[in-house]
Amino acid sequence: MVVKEKITQLKTWLGKQPKTLKQGISALLVLGLVVGGFSIAKAQNACAVEVNGQVVAIVEDKVQAEKVVNWLMKENQAKGSNVKPLQSITYQTTQKDNSLISEEELKQILAEQLTFEATASGIKVNNGLKVAVKDKTTAEKVLEELKNEYKVGPEFNVDFREKVDIVSVPVETSKILSLEDALSRLKGENGVPRYHTVKEGETLWEIANKFNISPEELQDENPDFTPERMQIGQKIKMVGAAEPLLNVEATVEKTVKEETSLPQQIKKNANLPFGQSRVVQKPENGLKEVTYKIVAVNGLEIERQVLNVNVIKEAKPQIVERSAQTVVASRGARPSGAIISPFGQRSGRMHTGVDLAKAYGSPVGSYNSGRVIRADWYGAYGKCVDVDHGSGVVTRYAHLSTINVKVGQTVDKGQSIGNVGSTGRSTGPHLHFEVIVNGVPRNPVGYI
């Protein structure tokens, strides 16, 4: 109203002025209106941000929008090089209305709408891309750490079982992993738990071995599961047992000196009175030099091959003569624990005893009364105790963590001779129990 009145007044005033002045003032007036109008229109403009041609937000101006996009780019640059968004981002001038959002809100919207791609270093296993990390240095570090972790010992040579390549690949930045995450992905950690379906003839021990876990861990993960009642087709949950994507093999050739001994020999002597016996040959330990090739995969020994045996000194057995009228030996009691691996052929080799599920550290009782004839490390058996019960019966307790007896000592039935462990060729705590009759391992089930 007021403006209109002023213009009318101005026109009236102009009417009274000479023509040239009139024209000049008219031109000024038009210019003023144009400039004024333009500045009003400009103040009402805003910037529409489009992702793949779709408006996702309206902000104050393009400068602000570009600032936010750059901020997101910068954040993604930490993950790889040549970062670029996979969507097109365009800006359109638009009418300002009340849908205008703040910089913070735009950040949130764009972070959701945009995916960024970067050039990263991918680790390929047998030509398949498994993980991607920021750069080549990080990829090399991941592989080196994996090797170091499974080196087993300083004298071992380590290598990957699979073909491994580091390649430069474009990857979505959300899929580029940190060193730690890449390492655990390759190791098969954080995997989806898997189930194993029991097949005919499989033992708990074999299943545990196959998945690189101890029978105890399997039991913990499956509390309702009873090894004795394992059935074909039964599903067993595997613990953290996603397949490793990359396997480290550590090998070494090692020569060690090992003591050897022979089982006691019993000879019947009809001339000896009832119940009497006498030692006719004292036992002597032998000594041999054994060269092993040891292979460990992902830190677990899977193979111990004897490459060479050099006997330095032959062992002599203890020979005992016993009255032909022997006393009937009392029946022994085998150590407790479920049988997780039976006596007999096991993956192409003879399993000369039974493996009993027992917790690490639990005491091991002697099968029967007798005399300790071995109480020491014994090659693949680890810490091992042999007890001679007479009548040609010797029992063996292997993979012990501690030994509580000494050679020559007599023990009572059930007396603790040591504690369960995982020494020697063993992938988890258990008791390997053997019954040796006249030097030949027998199925302990027949004696218990």
> Stretches 84-92, 284-292, 308-316, 427-435: which one binds Zn ion (CB under 5 A)?
427-435
Nearer to Zn ion, 371 or 430 (CB): 430
Residue type, 200: E
Nearer to Zn ion, 371 or 432 (CB): 432
CB of 380 to Zn ion, least distance (A): 10
Nearer to Zn ion, 286 or 441 (CB): 441
Tell which one of 134, 358, 371, 432 touches Zn ion (CB under 5 A). Answer: 432
Q: Does residue 355 bind Zn ion (CB under 5 A)? A: yes
Structure letter (DSSP) for residue 115: -
Query: Closest Cα partner for 375 from 350, 414, 408?
Result: 408
> Stretches 54-62, 114-122, 243-251, 350-358: which one binds Zn ion (CB under 5 A)?
350-358
> Stretches 31-39, 370-378, 408-416, 428-436: which one binds Zn ion (CB under 5 A)?
428-436
The whole-angstrom separation of Cα 96 and Cα 107 is: 20
The whole-angstrom separation of Cα 156 and Cα 147 is: 11
Nearer to Zn ion, 176 or 398 (CB): 398
Q: Where are the alpha helices (DSSP H) in 114-189?
A: 136-149, 179-186
Nearer to Zn ion, 248 or 431 (CB): 431
CB of 249 to Zn ion, least distance (A): 24
CB of 351 to Zn ion, least distance (A): 6
Question: 265-269 and 319-323: which strand pairing?
Answer: parallel
Q: Where are the alpha helices (DSSP H) in 90-167?
A: 103-113, 136-149
> Stretches 95-103, 301-309, 348-356, 437-445: which one binds Zn ion (CB under 5 A)?
348-356
> Stretches 136-144, 159-167, 233-241, 354-362: which one binds Zn ion (CB under 5 A)?
354-362
Give the angle subtended at the CA of 234 by the CAs of 302 and 198, to the nearest 5°. Answer: 30
CB of 356 to Zn ion, least distance (A): 9
Q: What is the DSSP string of 363-393?
A: EEE-SSSEEEEEEEE-GGG-EEEEEE-STTE
Q: Does residue 434 bind Zn ion (CB under 5 A)? A: no
Q: At what angle do helices 19-43 and 2-15 cross, to 10 degrees?
A: 160
The whole-angstrom separation of Cα 185 and Cα 163 is: 17
Residue type, 64: Q
CB of 355 to Zn ion, least distance (A): 4
**Size of the chain, expressed as the number of residues it contains:** 448
Q: Does residue 371 bind Zn ion (CB under 5 A)? A: no
Q: Is 235 helix (H, G, I), strand (E, B) or coil?
A: strand
What is the contact mask toward Zn ion in residues 406 to 425, using x (rule: CB under 5 A)?
Answer: --------------------
Nearer to Zn ion, 355 or 388 (CB): 355
Residue 214's CB: how many other CB atoms inside 10 A? 20
> Stretches 206-214, 253-261, 311-319, 431-439: which one binds Zn ion (CB under 5 A)?
431-439
Count the residues of the shown chain that bind Zn ion, applying the rule CB under 5 A. Answer: 2
The whole-angstrom separation of Cα 297 and Cα 246 is: 10
Nearer to Zn ion, 355 or 386 (CB): 355
Q: Could you give the C-alpha distances from 18 to 13, 14, 24, 61, in angstroms and in order?
A: 11, 8, 10, 47
- The C-alpha R_g of the chain, in whole angstroms, comes to 41
Q: Could you give the C-alpha distances from 270 to 351, 390, 391, 410, in angstroms and in order?
A: 36, 17, 15, 26
Q: Which of residues 230-289 bind Zn ion (CB under 5 A)?
A: none
Nearer to Zn ion, 143 or 340 (CB): 340
What is the contact mask toward Zn ion in residues 300 to 339, using x (rule: CB under 5 A)?
Answer: ----------------------------------------
Residues making contact with Zn ion (CB under 5 A): 355, 432
